[in-house]
Structure formats: C-alpha cells, structure tokens
Amino acid sequence: MDIITLPDFLMEEDTTPVRLFHYQTTTNHMRVKINLTNHTFSFLLEGEKELISDNEVVSVRDSHFIVMKSGHCMMTERLSAENQNYESMLLFFSRTAMLDFIQKHQIVVPHASPAKIVQAFPYDDFTASFVRSLVDVFKLPLQTQAKLLPVKFEEIMLYLCEHIGTDFLRFLTIGSDDQTSRFIQVVENNKFEKLSLQELAFLSNMSVSTFKREFRKHFRESPSKWFQDQRLTYSAFLLRDKALRPTDIFEDVGYENLSNFINAFKRKYGVTPKQYQTK
C-alpha cells in the first residue's frame, strides 16, 4: 500500500469530530507514507515511533506522547525489545473540534510559535492516568464512546493548556504554508536524511516529476547533485572544525558505507577525508 489515510484506514468513515482507536501490532513498520485527515494525539504505550514531516524528524519511546497536525508525514513503528509489541491509543480530532474548544474557553492562541507538524511531550502522572482511561473508554459500546470522547478531548486539551501553556495550539490552528514554502522546507530540513526522491516528493505533496521540476527551478541543479554537495560540504565542516573521524560521520551525511563516502569526498575536494584534515 503506497499511502495510508488515517483515521479511515483504521475504522469506518464517519463524521464524528473526535474518534479513538486502540492500535496494536507485532510487526515493525518502516517509513510508511501517512495522510492524516484529522489532527491526532498518539499516546504511545509500548515500542518506539519516528515521524518525518516537512520540517523535522521526531523520535519517541513510550515515555512520550505526540500531537500531530493533519497532513503528510512518514511514520516508523518499532516493536519494544521486551515484548516485541507496539501499542498506542490514537485520539483523532477534527479542526472544527479544536476551534470549538478554543472558542468555548476563550483561549488566546500565540502568533509567534513555530509552524510545526508534530510535537512531543513527556508523560506525567495526569497524562499517564488519562491514557489509561482511554483504554477503558475504547472497551465501551460505540454509542457510549461517541458521548464520552468529546469530554475526554476537552479534558486533555484543558490540562495541556494549563500545564504547558497554549503555544502548542498555534501549529494546529494555522493553515498550511503555500506549496513553494513547504517544498523548500522539505528540502532544507531533510538534506541529511536518507530519503528517496519519492519520499521527499510525498512530504512536499507533489508528484516526483513536479518535485524534480521545482527543484531545478529553485536550486539550479539536479536533486542528486545538490544533496551530495550539501552532505559533502557538511562532512568537510565535521572533519575540519569538529575533528571527527571519517568512520564517525559517513552514515550521518547519508552514505551507506565508508568507501563510497571517501570516493565522493575525493572527487569534490581532490583529497581523501584524512588528507583534508591534515592540510
């Protein structure tokens, strides 16, 4: 499956503003392309989650939960080492539900917060207890869930606003950046990640052909050449200014093995990484 649309992939499509799903798997999932049609709380119970968005990479274990904005992202789910299991409670909520909450409680949303796609927060006693209550709610009949979930959504939102402030609401309320800005964000913020053109195009909400065309228009060269040049420039900085060894950095700058890194570095700079350090 190329793209998974959530929450529709997990449950029957409906129009309720707040939905809940108890998700479990015993299979690792790597860089799955996700289209979120609702904002989402992902309360991790077991395992590890990594999310790649247009402007950052967020990795968490089961000591944290995540708030995700609707849109495109790539998701990795890793099983826990102890039980070989992955488990989370997913609380989906519509933009309407969020705006109704803000209006009801007359919350002032800051204007200076960064436009993120995902934010992670550590569990405390309250949020851990809240998640346990969601597990119990999910066991109830659907009609009862439909009555309780708006109350549970309001509960967690009120607590977060009181406990951490209202900054986190900013990234949920602003509209998506224009496509050009989003495209540049994807390129600049993922230039050291090992992402394929298909994955970069997905995060940019473009076809691969459109992504390539936009890339040449904005960066004046092919994606492969630009990314390689950026990674090699960064590797030169790490070698010279940070005094790191080639074996320490080749994976971090996007190379699968040391030999390929050395050969590419020598083509660009005329010397090997070790020779560059001693020049």
Task: Quickly list DSSP for 170-202.
Answer: HHHHSPPPPHHHHHHHHHHHTTTS---HHHHHH
The residues that bridge with 6 in the sheet, in sequence order, are 36
pLDDT of residue 113: 52
Average pLDDT taken over every residue of the chain? 88
Q: Which of 77-91, 128-142, 187-201 has the lowest mean pLDDT?
A: 187-201
pLDDT of residue 13: 63
The arrangement of secondary structure in 179-278, i.e. its CATH architecture, is Orthogonal Bundle (1.10)
Q: Is 130 helix (H, G, I), strand (E, B) or coil?
A: helix
| Residue 24 binned pLDDT confidence (cut-offs 50, 70, 90) | very high
Q: At what angle do helices 258-269 and 223-240 cross, to 10 degrees?
A: 90
CATH code assigned to 3-173? 2.60.120.810
CA distances from 107 to 67, 100, 101, 167, 215 (A): 18, 10, 8, 11, 40
Tokens linked to 100: 């109704």
pTM of structure: 0.74
The residues that bridge with 49 in the sheet, in sequence order, are 60, 77
- 222-275 per-position pLDDT tens digit: 998 888 888 888 898 888 888 888 898 888 888 888 999 999 999 989 999 988
Counting residues of the chain whose pLDDT is more than 90, the rounded percentage is 47
Q: Which of 105-114, 158-167, 215-224 has the lowest mean pLDDT?
A: 105-114
Question: What whole-number distance in Å separates Cα of residue 182 and Cα of residue 62?
Answer: 30
Task: Give the start-to-end residue ranges of the domains of the chain.
Answer: 3-173, 179-278
Give the count of beta carbons closer than 10 Å to the beta carbon of residue 124.
12
Q: What are phi and psi of 61, to 5 degrees?
A: -105, -170
pLDDT of residue 191: 83
Q: Residue 44 above 70 pLDDT?
A: yes
Q: Is the model more confident about 158 or about 237? A: 158
Place of tokens 């350090």: 277
